[in-house]
Structure formats: structure tokens, C-alpha cells
Amino acid sequence: MQSFRTELENPVVERDIIELEKKIRLYREGQIPDEKFRSLRLARGVYGQRQAGVQMVRIKLPYGKMTLAQWKRIADVSDEYSTGNLHLTTRQDVQIHFVSLERTPELWSKLDLDDITIREACGNTVRNITASDRAGIDPQEPFDITPYADAAFRYFLRNPICQDMGRKVKIAFSSSDADTAWSFMHDIGLIPKIQDVKGVPTRGFKVMVGGGLGAQPHLAKVAFDFLEADLLLPYIENVLRVFDRYGERASRHKARLKFLIQKIGMEEFVRLVEEEHLALKAQRLPIDAAAWPDTQAPQGTPGTAYSIKNPVKYEAWKRSNVIQQKQAGYLAAYIKVPLGNIRSDESRYLIGKLHGVIADDVRVTANQGLLLKFIQPGNLPYVYSVLEEVGYATPGFDSVSDITACPGTDTCNLAISSSTGIAAALEQVIEEEFPELVFNKDIKIKISGCMNSCGQHSIASIGFHGSSLKSAGKVLPALQVLLGGGIVGNGEGRVADKVIKVPSKRGPDVLRTLLNDYGTHALDAEKFNEYYDRKTEKYFYELLKPLTELQSLSEEDFVDWGQAQDYATAIGVGECAGVVIDLVATLLYEAEEKLELGMEAIGKGQYADGIYHAYSVFVQAAKALLLGEGVACNTQIGIINDFEKNLVATGRFDVADFKEQVLQINAQAPTAAFARQYFQQAQAFYKQAQLFRENNAVGSVIAQ
């Protein structure tokens, strides 16, 4: 595999890529256990597919932004290393599939040429930070949240406090009270506010914590109605430190922030967060939003003649896909991308034709589309004509007809049944039978291949997730139907109710039944969720119940959407949280790596980072010895307590005040003197742990 030392300008990225290449080699040589390697590659955006021997690579685009050069780079990389398809995700990433593991370091190096990263796009890290796609052009926004989302992305990327948490953390910035980034369903959700502080209008955020979807959706709790913007990054860091130390690690299904808050209560969570404050790098971190560069409005005009093939469709597209920006005289246009899949050649065509007439700032939307900005009204017909040429001029962006769906059984290990196939079938029903709903942006339809909600079915007006049923000894694909989810506003949301389960091939009939019933019986101007509340869950259960009977099944019902053979459940091992098998030797090796990183950080004057690396040395080494003793390990605070109880209190490991020593991490400010002292203590503990292991029979054990 080639060296990247002479190709990359960023030494930090260069080091990351060289390290990935090294770990792949060690893994192939059998020197790194398979499950441990999985955790490592996930944190580098490399995710195993349903198909053996190939990987999905997730490209991390903070707040969904791509320059035209970045978009082209991703398209070119997909051609060279993947299948030429770009999959836009609900977290504003781009995914490419069927990539060889050995080629991922080289792929990353090519992306970095245009400052694109895959670092921490997967794994137990801070995932891609999402934001309202209209940020910066939204007429309703108190201020542009883009500089704050960008600062958060950069601050937590490679930050030692969030490299190996119990599970992922998702952060979202909405641009206004409309909450189009769904702050209420995130671990940390943020809505911009302006409030007088000592008589001065001050920027800040409403802060929500502990939201999440998955199999057990939780609505976020309000941490602050208003938190000054300068305090935002320190607060998020406090939360991550608490989650890292106290969060569940043994059971991946309980290893999210929402479950920690549920377990200890909001009051205790707040107390623990405040307890971390002294240890931070800075008590306030001002973000110079005034220095954030304004998006440059293009001044170009179409250089060639063009024509619109379907003027009627153009008018519908303008009505449903085009918005006025807050900047006078400019429009923004949404592209409806079916199932989030756009080809690399189509991407290059659009880039070439639209360069100079749209801003160099394209946003991937959270419903798997694209947003083009700063279009002069006179250029709008040309933009439409370009989209029309490649089939992306479909009206109905973010309407009933714009269905969100995860990849499902196409590529995902966890999927139970097809989501893309049923999504296409449902869109066909709307297009052919309910064409007037192309302008209805009240009802949202979302589909996931399983209960984990990557397609966000839990917050849909009409949601579906993949499931299965049994009939006459055979298994058939099924859909769980959910109703009544969505945005309320200002950080409040609704989780959909599970209403009924039906054979998957009856999904179109479910949609017909619901839309016909709503169209016939809803009051004037009554929104779908209002109608659902008035009629109640029981009404809809009875309405759909005839579709659940299994006496009249045909052979077709036993074949999933898009498949040719009878359905069979084939669920693999999920990788979203990286279920990790830790060997004692591997843990001690990792502790040694943390020592090296800590020494390097302290040498650079990065004392807070050096302290956190030293803390990780204590935890990793203690965990290794406990596993060698057959003691099950869970939370970091549990490891610290169990080591004190099982090895220190029994006299088997001689270290004074172990727990107090380790927990200095949040009792001391990160000064140079404390960083050096704490590092030396961690170093001594690691050496003592190595001696303990050499003097005791230690085997390999399962940690998680």
C-alpha cells in the first residue's frame, strides 16, 4: 500500500491515514482481533456491509455543506473506489458502498485533497453535526448558526474526550423555532435565541439533552432555555465527559445518553455536568461569528441557450421546491433526490452546468435531498432546465411524495426487510393516485429497514419499519405502521405510536387507506396529526386491521420488495455502536498508546488533552486487570470503583488512594503542573499494571 507522506499537506490527517493503513495490515496479519478492529475502523468512517468483503465508507459533511469542488471530488472518488453512486443520508452525510478495505486509506487521502474527512463518521464518537439546511438564508433565523455548528465540529473532531465512548452522540443545530433539524430527537439539540444579558442583546441557544430514536425513542429534556453562545462548547464538553465516564458500556441497547439520564435522573445528571467544569480547557469559548465569511452570491448567467421541456411542471416545481432567501433578490431551490441516490456522472453534469449561477455552498438535506442557494430570479428557469435534463426537476420536495428511507436490506447488516423497495412503491401510489399531495408539506412519510430508525420512522406522520410475520410455517416480510410523529416547534416533538403490523406487500394499501380516510373525514384545514389525535390510535388500528389477515396470502407476499426469491430474515451484527471484544493484552497496548498521546499533548502545551489521555490510561489498565480477574466491566466509574474494591482494598495491588487519584481529572484545573503530575501518576500505574499482569496468569476475555 502506498505511502501518503508526500501527498498530503495536513500532517494530522496524514498521521490518521498512515495509522489506518498500519492497523489494516496488523489486522490482516492476525495481530488485532476482528471485533477490536471493527471499533477502530468505524471511528474512521469504514462500516461493514451486508455483503461480505466490502465496506461502506461514510463521508462526514458537517451541517451537510459541500463546495462544488468537494462534491466533484466525492463523485470522482466514488467512480474510482466504489460504484459511482452517492447516497445522501438523513444525517447529511454522503455514503459510498462496495469499497475494498485495503483501499480505504488511499480513498481518504484523495478526499483530503479537498478537505473532506471520514474521521468519526461512524463508531462511538461524536457523529456528524447536523443543522437546518436553510441556515444562513432562513428568513426566520435569529442569526446564522453555521459558524457555531462548524466550531463544534472542529472542536470535537479528534478530541480525546469522545474517541471511545460507550456509544455515539448526535448533535443538531436548528436555525429557528421551526426546529427543522429536529433538536428534540438528538443527544444534544440546539435552537438559536437572542436575549438581553445585562441590557445587551446576546446570542445564545435553547439546549435540549437526552433525545434519541432507535427502538426506544426519547424526547429530549430542556437543559437551558437560554445558554450564552460563549458557553456552548464548554457545556457540550461537560456533557461528553459525563457520558464517557458514567455511560453504559456492557449493553449497547442501553448505551445512549437518553438511558443515562433516565437511570440517574436529570437532577443528578446536571450535578455531574457541573462537576466537570473546573477541568475544562476554557470556561468560555467565544466563537467569532462576525468573522465567518459570507456566502458569495454568484454573478454568472447561462452561457448557452436552453429550453424548458415541461412548463406546467416547472410552475409546480417553483411552487413546491423554491423558497425566498432572507437575502433580498435571491432564491434557493431544493432538489428531490429519490431515496437519496445520485450518480457521480449526474453530479458532475450538474456541477459543470450550474457553476457560476449557484453559490459554492450546496447543502445535503436531512431528508436526503440537496439545496442550491443564491439563485438570481432570472437564472431560475436555466437552473430548472439543467435539473430537467438529468431527471432531478421533480416537484414535491419535502412533501408527502418525498419519502425518506434508509438503505435497508440493500446493504445494511441490521435491516429486516426492504425499505427502498417499499418507498418506491409508495411514491408511485402518491404520484398516480394522489397527485395533488405534491404540495402537502404537513404529512411526512419515513421508512426504516428495522426498528433502529435510521430512516427516522419514529417521528413521521406516517412511518414504517421493517419487520417479519409467520404464516403456515413460513416467514414473510412485514411493516410495522406508526402514526402521529413530527415536529411541534421550539424543541418539542412527537414520537409516533406503533399502531399495527401488516405484510410488507400491503404497504401501498395502508397508504391508500390512510390518505383516503384523511381526505374524506378531516375537518377544513385540519392537519394530519390533529386528525390522528381526534380519531385516536384505536380508530386507526380498526381502520387498518383488515389488512393484517393472513388467510388470503399469495406467493408474492413471501417475496420482499425488489427481490426474486422467498423472504428469509438474515440479520447480521450491527456496527453502529461497535460491539467490542477486548483482550487484556489489547487493552494494555491501548493504554500504552494513550501514554504516548498524552506525552505528545503535554509537550505541545495541550494540557487538558494530555490529562484526558492520562485518565484513559488509568481506566484502560484497570479494566484490563479486572478482566483478568474475571470481573465484568461496564461504566468507567464502575471500573474505578471495582478496581478499588477487588484489587486495592484486598491488598493485591498497592496504590494509595486509587479512586481519589484517578478522579482528580475533574477536581483540578488543567494547569501545566497538574498535567505533568497526573501523567506521571498514570505512567507509574501503567508500569505497575504491566508487572501485575506478568506475575498473574491472565487470559483473553470478552469485555463487551
CATH class of 11-68+84-112: alpha beta
pLDDT 10s digits, 560-598:
888 767 766 655 445 544 333 345 777 888 899 899 999
Distance CA 340, CA 89 (A): 7
Fold adopted by 584-694? Four Helix Bundle (Hemerythrin (Met), subunit A) (1.20.120)
* CATH code linked to domain 311-389: 3.90.480.10
Q: Are strands 362-364 and 462-471 parallel, antiparallel or unpaired?
A: unpaired
26: helix, coil or strand? Answer: helix
* Closest by Cα among 102, 257, 88, 249 to 171: 257
Residue 456 contacts residue 448 (beta carbons within 8 Å): yes
Domains 11-68+84-112 and 138-291 share a fold: no
pLDDT 10s digits, 12-22:
899 899 989 98
- Residue 508's contacts (CB-CB under 8 Å, 6 or more residues apart) are 425, 426, 428, 429
What crossing angle do the helices spanning 636-643 and 232-246 adopt, rounded to 10°?
50
Residue 587 contacts residue 624 (beta carbons within 8 Å): yes
* Closest by Cα among 448, 574, 420 to 47: 574
pLDDT band at 27 (very low <50, low <70, confident <90, very high): confident
The domain spans of the chain are 11-68+84-112, 138-291, 311-389, 404-558, 584-694
Report which of residues 10 and 398 the model is more confident about. 398
**Which CATH superfamily, name and number, covers 404-558?**
Sulfite Reductase Hemoprotein, domain 1 (3.30.413.10)
Query: pLDDT value at position 7?
Result: 53
Query: pLDDT value at position 8?
Result: 60
136: helix, coil or strand? Answer: coil
Separation of first and last alpha carbons in the chain: 32
Q: What is the mean pLDDT of the chain?
A: 92
Distance CA 124, CA 497 (A): 29
Mean pLDDT of 508-521: 97
Query: pLDDT value at position 582?
Result: 42
* CATH code linked to domain 138-291: 3.30.413.10
Mean pLDDT of 200-215: 95
pLDDT 10s digits, 249-264:
988 889 999 999 999 9
Residue 688 has pLDDT above 70, yes or no: yes
Report which of residues 29 and 1 the model is more confident about. 29
Q: How far is CA 225 from CA 207, 265, 285, 302, in A?
A: 6, 19, 19, 47
Residue 426 has pLDDT above 60, yes or no: yes
Mean pLDDT of 83-101: 96
What crossing angle do the helices spanning 232-246 and 257-264 adopt, rounded to 10°?
80
Q: Which residues of 600-635 are buried (b: 16+ CB within 10 A; e: fewer)?
A: ebbeeebbbbbbbbbbbbbbbbbbbbbbbeebebbb
Mean pLDDT of 472-496: 95
Residue 512 has pLDDT above 50, yes or no: yes
Q: Which residue has the cell 487493552?
A: 587
| DSSP states of 528-590 | HHHHHHHHHHHHHHHHHGGGG--TT--GGGGB-TT-SSB--------TTTT-----HHHHHHH
Residue 535 has pLDDT above 70, yes or no: yes
Q: Which residue has the cell 456528524?
A: 128
Residue 279 has pLDDT above 80, yes or no: yes
Query: pLDDT value at position 301?
Result: 85
- Residue 171's contacts (CB-CB under 8 Å, 6 or more residues apart) are 126, 127, 129, 130, 152, 186, 187, 188, 189, 190, 236
* Closest by Cα among 42, 36, 72, 39 to 57: 42
Distance CA 405, CA 338 (A): 9
Residue 60 has pLDDT above 60, yes or no: yes
Query: pLDDT value at position 698?
Result: 43
Query: pLDDT value at position 584?
Result: 78
Phi first, then psi, for residue 180 (nearest 5°) are: -75, -5
The fraction of the chain above a pLDDT of 70, given in percent, is 94
Residue 356 Rama label (left phi>0; alpha psi -120 to 50; beta) = left
Residue 355 has pLDDT above 90, yes or no: yes
Query: pLDDT value at position 569?
Result: 63
Amino acid code (one letter) for 434: F
Query: pLDDT value at position 608?
Result: 97
| DSSP states of 466-518 | EEEEEETTEEEEEEEEEES-EEEETTEEEPPEEEEEEEGGGHHHHHHHHHHHH
